Chain A
Amino acid sequence: MQKELDWAFLWKNIIAISAKIPVTMYLALLATFFGVIIGLLIAIIRIYKIPALRWAASAYVSFIRGTPVLVQLYLVYYGVPWVLLTAAAKLGMAGVTERFNPNNISPVIFALVTFSLNSGGYLSETLRSAIESVDRGQIEAARSIGLRESRILLKIVLPQAALNAIPNLGNSLIGMVKDTSLAFSVMVIDVMGEAKLIGSKTLRYLEIYIAVSIVYWSLCILLELIFGVAEKRMKMTRRELAE
């Protein structure tokens, strides 16, 4: 017999699941933050065509874009402890791994590493186009008065690229909030993790998935609103400047 939807149960669990929003946001915000740093490094390597590193950067971006996040998550989760343990054994530092066992690293760290690396790969393209959209004439002007390339980047290019990149960074953060739902695969109890746990205890999966989708949806609408306001403010200051 078909079960009736239990609305009270659904409502109660929206609140229970919402308690894990901080975990999701912590992952998404930090991953985007580290992603910007990694992405910026890669963008600079590719724009300035730094030899050797350039090919490594291309391969990295290609790998990130060419494999599913879930696969990347498992690779980090199983791969990093293996690499650490093997390296310790080879270097004759087995004693270190007894006090500090890589298998005890919190799963949140693995998730954070994966999502940072992932968003770094994608953001490198966003940041590259933001940097390349800065008018070349200004770069030439800075060179003509004798500024070094690193100072030009810092004083002229990056401040203007940052403004160009803000709308895309907002979209990346929203994407990341949803991607972090995969972190449950490596035992992180975030919004999705909590939902799955409640689901398997109560077997009311449909209600739980409706609840969790409402939580994600609301979260993303909120973020869109925040970035919308930020963008409007930015455009306004630009227009004021232009007047």
Chain B
Amino acid sequence: MIRLSGIEKSFGNKRVLRGISMTVETGRIFAVMGPSGSGKSTLLRCVNFLERPTRGAIEAGGRTIDANTATSRDILFLRNRTAMVFQQFNLFQNLTVTGNVMLGLTDVKKMNRRVAREESLRLLDRVGLSDKADYYPSQLSGGQQQRVGIARALAMKPDVLLLDEPTSALDPELIEDVLRCIINVAADVNSMIIVTHELGFAREAANTIVFIDDGVVIEETEAQAFFRSPSSERAECFLKNSLRRHINPSETPLERAI
């Protein structure tokens, strides 16, 4: 379980998040949606303190960590209970695929190298990349790199897995692969928060949709209900615009995927 209370974040004078609260119970998958610039990614990056929130608190693993008083020890505690999948994959270029997955296990979880290697190979198999174990990231396609990113995050067995627009840097024909992969591993994960623009994917994968605009939560609705009829006008408008964009230019990869 992870609970965000009153998260605020400003960059200079610009208030990007204006007090966001949500509770993600174990077993739940939240999709955070909203227009560009609404603060979705910033919110996700505040959860593991890649951005330090200006105000607010995060509760995880039985501890409440306040943005104003968080020490580097608190931040490590939080990061040990979360893991992140990035838009740009961010694989370690100097390590092999296995090395990428293993690093957290040997270095953070202090696992024996042999055990860590076995665990990594098991996870790579899970994301369908056991044949690429000894490759370097630069030898892989974007979709494959992102699946390594997912395996690397899964290895940490986080309370909550954070996915920051995991398919928006991918070529359209590779998106399906990665979305399938996320849906496949969802069963192994305690809980997830996904920032995504892929409507069909959010609808299939998520239990709850959190719709954010201008740094505030506009609505938090059960996923099926959200796509049937969102309760706020802004969300309805957003859905209409997105659907128009997605349906008109023939079939989009996301509709093929789902």
Contacts and interface: CB of A to CB of B under 8 A. Distances in A.
Interface of A: 135, 137-138, 140-148, 151, 155-156, 159-160, 238, 241-243
A142 B92 contact: yes
A188 to B, nearest CB: 40
B94 A159 contact: yes
A127 to B, nearest CB: 17
A146 B48 CA distance: 9
B180 to A, nearest CB: 23
Contact of A242 (B84, B103, B138): B138
A142 B84 CA distance: 10
Nearest to B106: A155
Interface string B15-55: 00000000000000000000000000000000010100000
B147 interface: no
A20 to B, nearest CB: 40
B50 A144 contact: yes
Contact of B139 (A142, A143, A155, A243): A243
Interface string B102-127: 01100110000000000000000000
A135 B90 contact: yes
Most chain B CB within 10 A, of A145, A147, A160, is at A145
Interface stretch (B2-10, B58-66, B75-83, B232-240): B75-83
B50 A146 contact: no
The 7 residue pairs across chains A and B that have the minimum distance between CB atoms: A137-B90, A141-B90, A144-B84, A145-B104, A146-B79, A146-B80, A146-B108
B91 interface: yes
A151 B90 contact: no
A147 B107 contact: yes
B227 interface: no
B85 to A, nearest CB: 9
A225 to B, nearest CB: 27
15 contacts: A135-B93, A137-B90, A138-B91, A142-B103, A144-B82, A144-B84, A144-B86, A145-B104, A145-B108, A145-B155, A146-B156, A147-B103, A147-B107, A156-B92, A160-B94
Contacts of A148: 76
A238 B149 CA distance: 21
B48 A144 contact: yes
Given A140-B90, A146-B76, A148-B76, 16 more contacts: A135-B90, A138-B93, A140-B50, A141-B90, A141-B92, A141-B149, A143-B48, A143-B50, A144-B79, A144-B84, A144-B162, A145-B83, A145-B108, A147-B107, A155-B92, A241-B139
